Amino acid sequence: CGMDVDVGAFDVQLINTELASQFTAHIKVSACLGLLLASPYVVYELYRFVSPALYDNERRASVWVVVSAYALFIIGVLVNYFVIFPISFRFLATYQVSDAVANTIALSSYISTFLMLSFMLGVVFELPVVAYFLARAGIARSSALRRGRKVALLVILVIAAIVTPPDVFSQIIVTVPLYALYELSIVIVGRCERRRDA
């Protein structure tokens, strides 16, 4: 059983190699989407449960953190859907060690790779929220993050080189949003420091 997928300017045929693969792929995608859509309500119910024990400033901070974390995760998933996955899939689907080895991609592999990258990008986009908590705990320092800009950029460039084709444009598309997250984290940590010192 095969299915044609049009990614950019080339077509790839997905195949089904197991009896229940198409059914389980449908269930897996539906479950992940349902969890993503239902999570705000679940978090809201948890917030209602714990909010009576919080101070007013803690309530305001927790609302900001939860909303920001969810929004950033969604943005990460969308960046993967529209940018990272198409670029990565095009590269991996056309990469060959030899012309004698044809690329035949299973549906289960396609879905698993997409969901894995979506989750990874969602988690990576939580960097500003993590930086906020580390700053509140006194662990993260904006001065240290500024000094680490070159190292952070190098790590991001390596990641971009791994997940994208070997062309500069694709690597820039991946590098820019990831580095922007790092700079946003510096701003957030600096703001936390100013509030703490005020």
Domain boundary among 105, 122, 139: 122
Pair (71, 7) in one structural domain: yes
**DSSP assignments along the chain, one per residue:** -EEEEEETTEEEEEE--STTHHHHHHHHHHHHHHHHHHHHHHHHHHHHHHGGGS-HHHHHHHHHHHHHHHHHHHHHHHHIIIIIHHHHHHHHHH--S-TTS---EEHHHHHHHHHHHHHHHHHHTTHHHHHHHHHHTT---HHHHHHTHHHHHHHHHHHHHHHS-SSHHHHHHHHHHHHHHHHHHHHHHHHHHHHHH-
Pair (166, 109) in one structural domain: no
Pair (17, 35) in one structural domain: yes
Domain boundary among 102, 122, 142: 122
Pair (165, 91) in one structural domain: no
Query: 151 is in which domain, residue-wise?
Result: 126-198
Domain boundary among 122, 151, 184: 122
Pair (85, 138) in one structural domain: no
User: Tens of pLDDT along 127-172?
Assistant: 999 999 999 888 989 999 999 999 999 999 998 888 777 778 888 9
Pair (71, 94) in one structural domain: yes
Residue-wise pLDDT tens for the chain (198 aa)? 555 555 555 677 888 888 888 999 999 999 999 999 999 999 889 888 888 888 888 888 888 888 999 999 999 999 999 999 998 888 888 888 888 888 888 999 999 999 999 999 999 999 999 999 999 888 989 999 999 999 999 999 998 888 777 778 888 988 999 999 999 999 999 998 988 876
In this predicted structure, what is the pLDDT of residue 27?
A: 95
pTM of the model: 0.85
